[in-house]
Structure 1
């Protein structure tokens, strides 16, 4: 039976995979390769990726029904923090396609048998905590500016946001704080999950490797973050339906970005 491990690999050592320097062209090439993966296996995403628009609609519906209108935008923006974790099956499809193996959606579900699953869940839990923290901070920010009483309707809520000085401050401060949360998520998990799919190195090594890759390649990783943010905005506009296309492309592209950033020391 395999030894249960989370923070380190099976040898109880914290691995330090070698990081490469990349350029902007590598980022766009990774995105192009992700699109190629999506086109090669489009039939599988009806099962895998409709969960994203469904979850998005559920989140917005829940927040509206619970008189929590101020949290609609934080929910929409913060939901993207969980994207790298929710796309683990897509990394496996890209990995298998790269190796010339069968890459059906069944293999995406096979990630549950990965020896690195505890580490994957640990990093996913970290992102979930970050997501919840963002919602709490966003709620506190709104209450500090508008008071504890929730808006009576969506129209009144939008009017208070765009017609009052507090609304401008809320948008400016909220976006600045959200940027900080997004920066933490990006720098700690930009390649963490693909690395764990590829190598059972443990949660600490996966997060540390993402941080080192970000520090060594700040501009390309920042460009990748901007591309992700822009595509997610485009995907959420038509009632989140666009996420069914955007998310798999970004998931596959993340695998190829990982392959460019982390040297394959086993070759």
Structure 2
């Protein structure tokens, strides 16, 4: 190969490398410029009392909240949960929302309005949270409807929450059917769903449901006895069954055997019952 040809090839290679480097630098500069784009709010940033800084609200959060909606949401959450100042929490949530609406922020806003008993506003923000993909807001919306005494709407949204795998929804449905809609077989169904995940309160509620509404004292006894040494003492459970509810010993014994031998009871009391001693 001639020397001139070799030199030409080297020049072409060097030019190509320089062009590639320029493109890389350009790409790097573009990314840097993208990172430097700041999110701004159409609302003024709410003020924070000096005595709250680094006690309830980190100074770094306050600085970041100028351009970071998640930092603003965290400040709102501190006002809500630490200071119980829901008006100020809402101001911070709205400030965050004006930078970038998020499902988490809207769900927190729903809760803050719930606490203020402004249910129409709570419903509006819960629905925004759901539209933004926040599944927790399904439960919050159902709860808001329940507090507003719109029990059929509450039922509709608790069921959606249950289908979304919210672990608290089954208990809420059981409570709704027992105390508001008075559909006791449906209450039984959903309390049993809570029992499956070892919700001890579901056992307690089922026991009351069977005694007061479904009139099945064997099952009432069984669900109560399963709580012995898991939630309550043996004496306290037997005092309710025998003295308060007046359930005979032979029925209580059947309940003891039911919870001991049935797969419907993920928690059990396996100790001695000693009914004659109580």
Please confirm whether the aligned pair reaches a TM-score higher than 0.5, indicating the same fold: no
Which is richer in helix? 1
Rg larger in structure: 2
TM-score by length of 1: 0.19
TM-score by length of 2: 0.18
* Higher relative contact order (CA closer than 8 Å, sequence separation 6+): 1
